[in-house]
């Protein structure tokens, strides 16, 4: 009897340990299954950033601008085009909707263009060109009410006619060289780094016009973390990030439009309506970071 009691206790402890182990295995399986699922419930292991990207490599160069100078080939300074491969001075929405694209995802047949960068008068194209669609810069309730960008919307950001940095929203910096302060004009990037350009597009729409006579007044930037009453519809903010394979003395750089502070960007939206709506619903409103496929990362 004196020896049976300890053995009984040992057996109970073994059964308890086995049960705990089985429970831990079940919990671990559940965590793995929900972490890897693209359809996991919002908030389950999601990265809380309202974002979906499009990587659109360089397509072609032309002295055209179908927003500022529609139907007038050669009327513009030189532009570098990304996304749709057919963009020229005569481009309309149907042209884009049916066009090939350089974008990942292939569903993005929009057109993006910027003034061409020159290094010692030789054109240089970005090695990396990413266009982020974001829900930021406004209150959480505004993000939650974000509307899809309407197909055919045209947006221009930046000031091609800027006469100095004070008239510019351009931002230049160096990839992997955070010690170099950003500037509205070109910066000196160390050897082994790349010159990068950031440009944020306005994200408040007047809810009526896909373009305007000055190509800007139908859009506005937020004021006090909300869209102004004149432009009440909040849409995803487009952030253009271009990384050029150049560095060193910025005196050798120029844009087709002039100094670095004249950097500007044009966007002609041709995303499929349902696809844009899905990404706003699944990524922007719930504040979830999505990949190129528009699914949570």
Q: Among all chains, which residue has been given the structure tokens 């253009």?
A: 240
Phi/psi of residue 56, nearest 5 degrees:
-125, 110
Q: Quick check: helix, strand or coil at residue 268?
A: strand
- Token pair recorded at residue 51: 């974002």
Which tokens go with 157?
């950001």
**Phi/psi of residue 156, each to 5°?**
-120, 135
Residues in the chain: 297
Q: Give the separation between CA 246 and CA 286, rounded to whole angstroms.
A: 38
**Full pLDDT tens readout for the chain, 297 residues:** 334 344 344 345 445 444 444 443 333 333 333 333 333 344 557 899 999 999 999 999 999 999 999 999 999 999 999 999 999 999 999 999 999 999 999 999 999 999 999 999 999 999 999 999 999 999 999 999 999 999 999 999 999 999 999 999 999 999 999 999 999 999 999 999 999 999 999 999 999 999 999 999 999 999 999 999 999 999 999 999 999 999 999 999 999 999 999 999 999 999 999 999 999 999 999 999 999 999 999
Cα–Cα distance, 255 to 121 (Å, whole number):
10
User: What is the β-pairing status of strands 103-104 and 51-56?
Assistant: antiparallel
Can you name the residues that pair with 79 across neighbouring β-strands? 62, 115
Evaluated on CA atoms 51, 57, 58, 60, the torsion sign reads: negative
């Amino acid at each position: 009897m004196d020896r049976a009691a300890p053995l009984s206790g040992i057996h109970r402890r073994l059964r308890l340990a086995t049960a705990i182990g089985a429970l831990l295995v079940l919990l671990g399986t559940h965590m793995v299954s929900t972490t890897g699922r693209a359809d996991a419930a919002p908030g389950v292991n999601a990265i809380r950033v309202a974002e979906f990207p499009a990587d659109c490599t360089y397509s072609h160069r032309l002295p055209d601008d179908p927003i500022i100078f529609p139907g007038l080939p050669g009327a513009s300074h030189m532009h570098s085009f990304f996304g749709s491969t057919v963009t020229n001075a005569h481009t309309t929405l149907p042209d884009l909707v049916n066009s090939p694209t350089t974008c990942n995802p292939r569903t993005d047949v929009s057109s993006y263009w910027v003034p061409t960068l020159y290094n010692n008068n030789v054109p240089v194209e970005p090695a990396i060109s990413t266009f982020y669609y974001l829900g930021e810069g406004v209150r959480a309730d505004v993000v939650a009410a974000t509307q899809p960008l309407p197909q055919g919307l045209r947006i221009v950001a930046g000031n091609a006619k800027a006469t100095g940095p004070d008239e510019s929203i351009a931002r230049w910096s160096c990839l992997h060289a955070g010690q170099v302060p950003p500037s509205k004009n070109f910066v000196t990037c160390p050897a082994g780094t790349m010159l990068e350009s950031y440009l944020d597009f306005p994200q408040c729409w007047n809810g009526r016009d896909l373009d305007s006579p000055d190509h800007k007044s139908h859009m506005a930037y937020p004021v006090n973390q909300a869209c102004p009453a004149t432009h009440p519809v909040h849409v995803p903010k487009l952030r253009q990030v271009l990384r050029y394979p150049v560095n060193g003395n910025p005196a050798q750089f120029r844009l087709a439009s002039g100094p670095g502070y004249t950097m500007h960007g044009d966007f002609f939206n041709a995303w499929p309506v349902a696809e844009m709506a899905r990404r706003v619903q699944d990524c922007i409103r719930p504040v979830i970071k999505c990949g190129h496929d528009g699914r949570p990362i």
